[in-house]
Structure 1
Amino acid sequence: MDDDELFRFTGFYGQIDPSLRKQAWDMLRSVKSKVNEDWFVGGDFNAILNNSEKEGGRRKLKVLMDEFCDTLEELNLSDVKPYDGWFT
């Protein structure tokens, strides 16, 4: 990056099983605790922030979406959706 700035990128694939997502969020917390640079996380979290993001299938439980939102806020991550797909 400009001025020799460093950053860390973590590729992530979240748990498909909703009962195991807390473990995935805890793993991200563990990684974050070791990161001193700016941090980017990309991949598929297998989670959504609201049901308007859902395509097909059953609606997601609000508690699961709230947990995902709280995790992103805690880790200071932002959800970014480019024109051609997802990137969180």
Structure 2
Amino acid sequence: METKVAFSKMSNFFNRLGFTTSTIVDPVGKVGGIWIIWDTNHVNVRASNVSSQVIHATIHKEDYEEWVLAAIYASPNPILRDQLWHNLENMAESMDRPWLVAGDFNDYANQREKRSFSLNNNTGRVQKFLDRVNNCNLIDLV
């Protein structure tokens, strides 16, 4: 989810809850931001790719299969969002572990997901998003 606040303003709160380690992308102004926070007593997280739109991290917990998390905050700018999807599609081609891609895609899979007063029925945009999800072999869990 879009955090809209710098992690430094919340780090003490999370530390008191036991989440002592993090990988973060701070927002620019009040736009964007991605945080992955964890308790090293329970799980190991290794960030492998961090950008303004995604944090890719390998998650390891003893006695469980290792998996990859892609925490997303896609840019509202369509050109930047296209770059994110290009990178996700490339990563999907070589993904050899379970992969959870979650977050705010600043897109929607059908008109019911969009909150707007506009009656603009943008089926092309919906189809583009669905095609990208399919290209990455992802399943929408909603």
Place the TM-score, normalised by the shorter chain, in its bin: 0.7 to 0.9
Residue equivalent to 1:86: none
Distance, in Å, in 2 between the alignment partners of 1:28 and 1:39 is 11
Distance, in Å, in 2 between the alignment partners of 1:63 and 1:15 is 18
- 2:74 alignment partner, one of 9, 14, 19: 14
Distance, in Å, in 2 between the alignment partners of 1:19 and 1:60 is 21
More helix by share: 1
Deviation of residue 5 (structure 1)?
A: 1.8
Aligned pairs (5 A) from 1:23-34:
23-34=83-94
Listed as ranges, the gaps of 5+ residues in structure 2 are: 1-60
Larger radius of gyration: 2
- Relative contact order (C-alpha < 8 Å, sep 6+): which is higher? 1
How many residues are treated as equivalent by the alignment? 81
Q: Which moved more, 1:26-35 or 1:5-14?
A: 26-35
SS of the aligned residue for 2:139 comes to: coil
More strand by share: 2
TM-score normalised per structure 1:
0.74
Identity %, equivalent residues:
29
Residue equivalent to 1:85: none
Deviation of residue 15 (structure 1)?
A: 2.1
TM-score normalised per structure 2:
0.49
SS of the aligned residue for 1:65 comes to: helix
Residue equivalent to 2:138: 77
What's the C-alpha RMSD, in Å, of the aligned pairs? Answer: 2.2
